[in-house]
Amino acid sequence: MTIELRHLRAFLAIAEEGNVTRAAARLHLSQPALSRTLRQIEEHFGTRLVDRSTHHLRLTAEGRTFRDKALAALSAVETALDPRGLKSRPLRLGHPWAALGDHTVPLLRRWDETHPGTPLELLRIDDRTAGLTQGKVDAALLRGEVTADGLRTELLTSEERVVVMPADSPLAALPRVTLADLAAHPIALNTVSGTTTMDLWPPTARPVAAIEVTNTDEWLIAIAAGRAVGISTSATPSHHTHPSLVFRPLTDAPAIPVVLAWREGLGHPAIPNLVALAHQVIAADGARRTTG
- Tell me what pLDDT residue 292 has: 60
Domains 90-155+257-290 and 161-249 share a fold: yes
**Residue extents of the structural domains in the chain:** 5-81, 90-155+257-290, 161-249
Q: Which class does domain 5-81 fall in?
A: mainly alpha
- What single letter denotes the amino acid at residue 287? A
Which CATH number among 3.40.190.10, 3.30.450.40, 3.40.50.2300, 3.40.640.10 corresponds to the domain 161-249? Answer: 3.40.190.10
Classified by CATH at the fold level, domain 90-155+257-290 comes out as: D-Maltodextrin-Binding Protein; domain 2 (3.40.190)
Q: Is residue 85 over pLDDT 70?
A: no
Mean pLDDT of 5-10: 92
Q: Of 24-28, 81-85, 253-257, 280-284, give the lowest mean pLDDT range.
A: 81-85
Mean pLDDT of 7-27: 91
pTM above 0.75, yes or no: no
The per-residue pLDDT of the chain, averaged, comes to 91
Q: Is residue 109 over pLDDT 90?
A: yes
User: Of 240 and 217, which is predicted with more confidence?
Assistant: 217
